[in-house]
Structures are given as structure tokens and as C-alpha cells.
Amino acid sequence: MDGTAMPDQATILVIEDEEKVRVITVKMLESLGYLTVAVENAAAARDLLSRQTVDLVLSDVVLTGDMTGPQFAVEVRAKYPDLPIVFMSGYPAEAARGIGEFDANVQLLNKPFRIVQLDQALRAALI
């Protein structure tokens, strides 16, 4: 989880509560050469991270369940400080940032995003 993995080796944890968006995002990631695991909420992501190593978390800002993407990111960073996190949101950037605290270096993809935007954001985060 040191952020040096390249796409053909990197495993991306996708946290997205809308099934159709989750499936499309996973397909995009796999077409870019990433390995993927996908869950629908923070509780499932927490469980998965306790059992599996990932190289990056790609999370929706708004999640169903006990917390938002930014709240989950705080929890993740406490345990895995070097794990890159990229957010995606259907809300405009200003509104998404109002939902939770973001680090200055956080990548935020606005939905719908193009595959090239996704690739650029993940490559930047994995460097």
C-alpha cells in the first residue's frame, strides 16, 4: 500500500452504493488494467480492508449506511496513512466538499466521468 503500484498490479477498492454505477466503474477500471474489489458501503469496505490489501480506495462521497466517504477516509487514514483515496461524486465539487472534510491533495472526480479522467486521477494518486 505504498502508492507505487502501476495499473497492471494495483488493486482498487471501489465503494459505491448504486449498483449500476459500481458495475460500470469496475468495468472501466478493469479495462484500464486494474484489479478491483467492490463494495456498497463503508461497513463492507472496513471488513474487506481487514482481510485484503488494496493499493487505492475509490469512494463515492455520499454512501448509504453509517458514514459518508469522507468520514470513512478519516478512519482509513488513521489505520493506513499512506493509502491513496480518490473520491467520486454526482454533486458539484463545492457541494461534495461541503459533505465532508477533504485533504488539500484529495482527488475528486465529478460523475459522470470519462475513462481518461478516471485513469488520470488514479495515476496521480498512485504516484
pTM of the model: 0.86
Domain count for the chain: 1
Partners of 110 in beta bridges? 89
Are 48 and 23 a contacting pair, CB within 8 Å? Answer: no
CATH code of residue 96: 3.40.50.2300
On whether residue 34 sits in a domain, the answer given is: yes
Domain-located, residue 2 = no
Which residues form the domain of 46? 11-126
Q: How many CB atoms lie within 10 A of CB 85?
A: 23
Long-range Cβ contacts of 90-99 (<8 Å, 24+ apart): 90/62, 91/61, 91/62, 96/61, 99/61, 99/62, 99/68, 99/69, 99/70
Higher pLDDT residue, 16 or 89?
16
Question: Which of 14-18, 43-47, 76-80, 107-111 shows the lowest per-residue confidence on average (mean pLDDT)?
Answer: 107-111
With respect to residue 1, please indicate whether it lies within any of the assigned structural domains: no
Per-residue pLDDT at 89 exceeds 80: yes
Mean pLDDT, all residues of the chain? 85
CA 97 to chain centre: 15
pLDDT in tens, 24-45: 999 999 999 999 999 999 999 9
pLDDT at 105: 56
Domain membership of residue 25 (yes or no) is yes
More confident residue, 9 or 84: 84
Residue 53 in domain: yes
6 domain residue, yes or no: no
Residue 84 predicted with pLDDT over 70: yes
Kindly state the average pLDDT of the residues 7-22. 91
Residue 71 lies in a domain: yes
Residue 24 inside a domain? The answer is: yes
